[in-house]
Chain A
């Protein structure tokens, strides 16, 4: 069974630009969560989508948004990029999301903002 796939693996953008990252969950999984990982803050929750609906949202500004398609694939978008947005962005999929379910992570997209 294929794992969680994130594309692209690496990305370099300049301040002010916008970026879209993609996540394909494990087949059959309906929940996709996004996390930002930085050296200073660790793994911070961005949002979770389940059956095309945003079910949970972390404490990030509105420049961070996401969506989920009917095939459970998810995208996240960051507009007006700032230097501080440089991070590893991880997505995790699970069947139901939330308690009692394992979440499986992709390898992440390394975003560098210059």
Chain B
């Protein structure tokens, strides 16, 4: 079933192309960031995280970039596949056992 917003920003990419999803976070004190992927009818799935003492981290087909100067986070997906179609959320966390704060999400649509 539908589980995410109807009016999210949407990014459409061709299968095989690279995708870049952007996120502006809110708190300059945030020191830990996570990207989640949410498919229809499922809960958010952890993709990759990054701490504020880094500006880049790579995973399998994904790269997260952090620009603390402008409070900007991006997720790059290489060779986008149809299975990557989902809503992507960034989440930020301030040190000290505070809860994750989620962005509004971006819907990625992969065109086969």
Interface residues of A (CB under 8 A from B): 4, 6, 33, 35, 37-40, 42-43, 45, 48, 50, 55-56, 58, 88, 90, 92, 96-100, 102-108, 110
A37 with B4, Cβ < 8 A, contacts A90-B43, A103-B34, A103-B46 known = yes
Contacts of A107 in B (CB 8 A): 41-43
Looking at the assembled complex, report how far the CB atom of B41 sits from the nearest CB atom of chain A, in whole angstroms. Answer: 8
Within 8 Å CB of B105, what residues of A?
42
Contact with A along B42-56 (1 / 0, CB 8 A): 111110010100000
Considering the complex of A and B, which 5 residue pairs feature the smallest CB-CB distances, nearest first?
A98-B97, A105-B43, A43-B102, A39-B5, A45-B99
Chain B: residues with Cβ within 8 Å of the partner, total of: 32
Q: Which A residues are in CB contact (< 8 Å) with B59?
A: none
Judge whether A99 and B97 touch: CB under 8 Å.
yes
Contacts A4-B43, A99-B31, A106-B43; A39 near B98 (Cβ below 8 A): no
B32 near A99 with CB under 8 A, answer yes
Shortest Cβ distance from residue A44 to the other chain B in the assembled complex, whole angstroms:
8
Judging by beta carbons under 8 Å apart, are A45 and B100 in contact? yes
Residues of chain A with a CB closer than 8 A to B101's CB:
45
Taking the closest CB of chain B, its distance from the CB of A94, in whole angstroms, is: 9
> Would A39 and B42 be within 8 Å (CB), given that A45-B100, A100-B51 are in contact?
no
A58-B49 Cα distance, complex, nearest whole Å: 23
